[in-house]
């Protein structure tokens, strides 16, 4: 598990550089400004400066973790508990008609900052943003079953 927030001497200089240059870690350390929406001992939520829709919030752990698959379950749970509360605040406070809650994991998935974070995006009927998720098709149910089996055989609790 990579916990880049509590770097030990045996960890590489590469990871130290990642944490020292992480924009989210700099926000946590108050080295750069952010508009904070929520903060507790382990979690920080702030306005995204490049929002998909106005009111877009990022929820991060105060300790540097990445990727999702190496982040402790309790941290992932805390991020989503806060995301749920932010979503309700967007509905109640901003009048959002719906909310997208997303976590992009890895560059291929669109992750730009290598510090686990959850996007909480208020949605309005007329906000003009549309996800372009073109649905793909499986050749047959057998192909689907084979892929499911590959995942299940690697599943860890």
130 is catalytic: no
Task: Write phi, then psi, for 61 (nearest 5 degrees).
Answer: -80, 150
DSSP 91-141: HHHH--SEEEEE---SGGGT--SSS--EEEEEE-TTS------PPP--S-H
Catalytic residue, candidates 117, 119, 129, 156: 117
Q: CB–CB of 118/57 below 8 Å? A: no
Q: For residues 112 and 133, what is the distance between their CA atoms, to the nearest angstrom?
A: 19
Q: CB–CB of 46/24 below 8 Å? A: no
- Contacts of residue 41, defined as CB under 8 A and 6 or more positions apart, other chains included, come to 62
Just list the catalytic residues: 117
């Amino acid at each position: 598990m990579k916990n880049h927030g509590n770097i030990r001497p045996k960890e590489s200089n590469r990871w130290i550089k990642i944490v020292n240059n992480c924009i989210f870690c700099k926000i946590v350390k108050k080295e750069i400004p952010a508009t904070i929406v929520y903060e507790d001992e382990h979690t920080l939520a702030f306005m995204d400066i490049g929002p998909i829709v106005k009111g877009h919030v990022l929820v991060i752990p105060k300790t540097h973790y990445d990727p999702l698959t190496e982040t402790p379950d309790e941290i992932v749970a805390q991020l989503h508990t806060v995301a749920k509360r932010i979503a309700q605040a967007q509905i109640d406070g901003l009048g959002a008609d719906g909310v997208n809650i997303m976590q992009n994991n890895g560059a291929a998935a669109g992750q730009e900052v290598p510090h686990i974070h959850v996007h909480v995006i208020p949605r309005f009927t007329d906000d003009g943003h549309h996800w372009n998720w073109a649905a793909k098709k499986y050749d047959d149910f057998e192909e689907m079953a084979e892929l499911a089996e590959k995942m299940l055989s690697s599943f860890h609790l």
